[in-house]
Amino acid sequence: MGRNKLIIVDTDILIDAARNVNEALNCLQQIEQRLPAAVSSVTQMELIIGCRNKNELDSLGQFLDRFHIIRLNEQISDTAIDLLKRYRLSHGLLIADALIAATAIVSDLSFASKNQRDYRFIEDLQLLPYPDPFSNNEDQTG
């Protein structure tokens, strides 16, 4: 695993953490104790879509302030397109998942997701186990 400075956290963990699901809260806490957590701007968009009113949108903004947001760029877009060509038909890879995975791959960062089955087939993705992201290796930070 590369020498990471951040760990990208998937939308599903953040949603569960906001709902006070213990596994997600513990996972996020373990990550943040090791390294700063980051999210793809796609995750930011997915969370915005889930807001039902202005108060939730304001709360989301405050919640996201603790994360580094990684924006999409040409290399991430091109990588996501390659992932979709490779995995859409065989594994049902979705656009948002391809963009989030591509963000982690291009940034050479580890990636934490509850939905392991959505990502485990993607080569070059440094997918951490869930709910214990450091169970396979005690020195994930390099």
In a domain, 73, yes or no: yes
Residue 53 lies in a domain: yes
Check if the beta carbon of residue 67 is closer than 8 Å to that of residue 44: no
Q: Find out whether 63 and 18 touch, Cβ atoms under 8 Å.
A: yes
pLDDT of residue 3: 54
- Residue 1 resides in a domain: no
- Residue 63's pLDDT is what? 95
pTM of structure: 0.90
Span 91-120, average pLDDT: 98
Domain extent, residue 82, equals 7-128
Whether residue 1 is predicted with pLDDT greater than 60 in this model: the reply is no
Which ranges constitute the DSSP H helices of the chain?
11-18, 22-34, 41-50, 54-64, 74-91, 95-107
Would residue 133 count as lying in a domain? no
CATH number of 42's domain: 3.40.50.1010
Residues paired with 69 in a beta bridge: 39
pLDDT(62) > 60? yes
Is the pLDDT at 142 greater than 90, yes or no? no
pLDDT of 107 over the 60 cut: yes
Given the structure tokens 């709902």, which residue do they identify? 19
- Tell me the average pLDDT across 23-52: 97
* Overall domain count for the chain: 1
Mean pLDDT to the nearest integer, 42-49: 98
Residue-level pLDDT at 14:
97
Predicted pLDDT of residue 2: 47
Residue 111 within a domain: yes
**Is residue 140 situated within a structural domain?**
no
pLDDT at 140: 42
